[in-house]
Amino acid sequence: MNTLTHLECSLCRQKFEAGKIHNLCDCGGPLLVRYDLAKSRETWSREKVAAGPHSMWRYAPVLPPTRPESIVSLGEGMTPLVRTPRLGQRLGAGDLWVKDEGLNPTGSFKARGLSCAVSMAVELGIRKVAIPSAGNAASAMAAYAAAAGIEAHIFMPRDVPQSNYIECKAFGAQVTLVDGLISDCAKKVAAGKDTEGWFDVSTLKEPYRIEGKKTMGYEVAEQLGWELPDAIFYPTGGGVGIIGMWKAFEEMQAMGWIGSKRPKMIAVQVAGCQPVVRAYEQGAERSQFWENAQTVAAGLRVPKPLGDFLILEAVRQSGGTALAVTDEELLEAGVRLAASEGLFICPEGAACVSALEKLLASGFLKRGERIVIYNTGAGLKYLEAYAPLFPR
């Protein structure tokens, strides 16, 4: 089915055997899944992709499950790439697109990562999964665990959006609301996992979510006729999407599907939590814990991303940049997009619209460039965040 060979530490390059249960490397580095891409190049092709299922599993030859029966799918992926000419005209962007990840199961792109992670849990015989989450990862894990018939244990900040809490409960997960941030939730998972026998599905501590998310990179290439855009705006929390897409581009090049050109990868954060932007501006390789993280864009409230060095590498090598916008700016930008294009997007995606306005105004991006914004979730999941703009 695939050409998976092994896993490799992203920091020290130590190799790990496939088919075994892994979290982080001993050195603390996240593990990346490696394939024999020379072999894939001979046995698979862009034409064969087109004949595959209408979901992210059309890329199964570069996804980790080795048996089709392991796959737990709710139809994730192959989200629309929507042209947004009215907004583009207003801002001075002649070739502007939104990849609308809000149409995934559970209303966010977290479905891609968790479909892959839960499929691998099934393949490896794991029966209990646990996750610390700012919201959408929890909803997605609860949904896929329900579909797989395994136990889900969820730790979320008490002020998580209502939609996420209710979804998790409806999916039958064990939910614990924590007074604190995702980092405090992570401590609870770490504390309980040995005694409770949970497998820790935390961002990047689990090696397969990134594989699911990388399909966003394959899809954008396929949808644009195997030509990458000039710039990608990505709302960056843990950064799994950026890291995953960067890996996807490398893999596609190794298979001869694309050339060496890369989009400028633009990491967007929020004023109330911008560890990656700070590190980028300081020329640092790692970020520092952002104290008192606060924002309505729940998915961006990640005070210290584990894969910060991988995010920064992709941003720098691609000639991209990192910038932050305020909550007020992003909500207003989200409403402007909704009113001009009919897309009601999540605050995280809306942060990218605001960041785009800034980078066009500063001249960092030019009118003729092909720009893709990743809208990572549905606006409908965030009614509390948008409600103050529309008092009744």
Ligand X SMILES: *Cc1c(COP(=O)(O)O)cnc(C)c1O
All residues at 6 or more sequence positions from 376 whose CB lies less than 8 Å from its CB, including other chains? 101, 102, 108, 109, 136, 235, 241, 299, 346, 348, 349
CA distance 228 to 224: 7
Cβ 100 to ligand X shortest distance, Å: 12
Burial of 377 (0-12, 13-18, 19+ CB in 10 A): buried
State the binding partner of 11 from ligand X, Zn ion, none, CB within 5 to 8 A by kind: Zn ion
Nearest to ligand X of 40, 287 (CB atom): 287
Nearest to Zn ion of 29, 349 (CB atom): 29
28-36, 120-128, 309-317, 324-332 -> range binding Zn ion (CB under 5 A): 28-36
Cβ 121 to Zn ion shortest distance, Å: 23
Cβ 390 to ligand X shortest distance, Å: 21
Nearest to Zn ion of 9, 134 (CB atom): 9
Rounded to the nearest 5 degrees, what angle is found at the Cα of 196, between the Cα atoms of 191 and 200? 60
Nearest to ligand X of 9, 131 (CB atom): 131
Cβ 232 to ligand X shortest distance, Å: 12
Beta strand 4-9 with 15-17 is: antiparallel
State the binding partner of 229 from ligand X, Zn ion, none, CB within 5 to 8 A by kind: none
Nearest to Zn ion of 31, 201 (CB atom): 31
Nearest to ligand X of 65, 237 (CB atom): 237
Q: Does 12 bind Zn ion (CB under 5 A)?
A: yes
Which of 135, 178, 172, 168 shows the shortest CA–CA distance to 151?
172
Q: Does 383 bind Zn ion (CB under 5 A)?
A: no
- HSE-CB of 256 using CA atoms within 13 angstroms: 9
Place of tokens 């996240």: 30
CA distance 250 to 273: 29
State the binding partner of 12 from Zn ion, ligand X, none, CB within 5 to 8 A by kind: Zn ion
Q: Does 27 bind Zn ion (CB under 5 A)?
A: yes
Instruction: Tell me how far CA of residue 50 lies from CA of 62, 82, 149, 169, in angstroms.
Output: 15, 19, 31, 37
Q: Does 9 bind Zn ion (CB under 5 A)?
A: yes
Place of tokens 């999964």: 129
Transcribe 92-115 into DSSP letters. Answer: T-SEEEEEEGGGSGGGBTHHHHHH
Residue 270 DSSP SS3? strand
Nearest to ligand X of 145, 378 (CB atom): 378
Cβ 60 to ligand X shortest distance, Å: 21
Cβ 303 to ligand X shortest distance, Å: 13
At residue 9, φ and ψ (nearest 5 deg) are -70, 130
**Which spans of this chain sit near ligand X (rule: CB under 6 A)?**
108, 110, 136-137, 203, 235-241, 299, 346, 348, 376-377
Query: Footprint of Zn ion on this chain (CB under 5 A)?
Result: 9, 11-12, 14, 25, 27, 29
